[in-house]
Structure 1
């Protein structure tokens, strides 16, 4: 069964949001790298890869359902922050925003009785719980170490230990 025009349009918008998320996280990585926070920068680079994989999951789904993917311009992300804390606070707020968009897609799928899309979105709903929890935990840890250079150093090292994203075939990405 082919996707409705309304659902295809909504998923196309989400694909754009996922690519914007990738751009935003890469901009955050660049800022963190410029601040010599290489571990936090690596964490954000992996987050960038994860967002690309989310966009591609929607892309593949649209093709499976016979809908046309229409790529639109990706807006320029913010490029400056005042601190690592501000970067991760913004990342947390952004994940909350993405959660609201995924929930809107799920509501539309329920309205349209589109069970296949709802099944796909269940994966994204669960993923967003994890995304919000991860960024919130990092914000809490940054607040915990406050202005301690030693604490920040240890946290930066911890963030740099984040494992790379894997594809559905189990291959590592970046």
Structure 2
């Protein structure tokens, strides 16, 4: 594997772990606000991001590449209001999409087809992540102005269940 691609994949592990920390902090924020459904939504997001980091790790190991665990910064701990984490999450997902695209571009440039095939799953996944977060923002904007609407949305989000990624690497 090309050193540049390997470095980018290692860096992505750090970004995915930061994403898990960020979403766990957002879950904590919503728990403190009594919005357990929103907390659940972000807790599941944190689990998914952790799993993404593990997929990058496994991919590197399967290709006899050294895994370098880089430091992960702590996310900020407070937000102005209940909408702020939602908007930050969408911005963050766009950042992650950009990072995946950078790796894809590097792998395409050297015709690393195996890495491109691996990254195809993440390209699709990022589309889903951005859509899901955007949909949540839209629902929040529609219903959060009414206490009953916010309550019902929070109840809906409590029902979200974790499911492991469908990308399996051995």
TM-score normalised to structure 1 length: 0.93
> Following TM superposition, by how much is the alpha carbon of 1:166 offset from its aligned partner in structure 2, in angstroms?
2.2
Cα displacement string for residues 86-143 of structure 1 (whole angstroms, at most 9, x for unaligned residues): 1111111100110000011110010011000000100000000000000000000111
- Secondary structure of the 2:83 match is helix
Which residue does 2:49 correspond to in 1?
Answer: 51
1:23 to 1, 12, 21: 21
Unaligned segments of structure 2, at least 5 residues: none
Which residue does 1:141 correspond to in 2?
Answer: 139
- Give the ranges of 4+ consecutive aligned residues of structure 1 lying more than 2 Å apart after TM superposition: 165-170
Unaligned segments of structure 1, at least 5 residues: none
Which residue does 2:58 correspond to in 1?
Answer: 60
Question: Contact (CA 8 Å) 1:49, 1:165: kept in 2 or not?
Answer: no
Provide the aligned C-alpha RMSD in A.
Answer: 1.4
Q: Distance in 1 between matches of 2:167 and 2:51?
A: 12
Q: How do 1:15-164 and structure 2 match up within 5 A?
A: 15-164=13-162
Aligned length: 168
Residue 11 (str. 1) matches residue 5 (str. 2): no
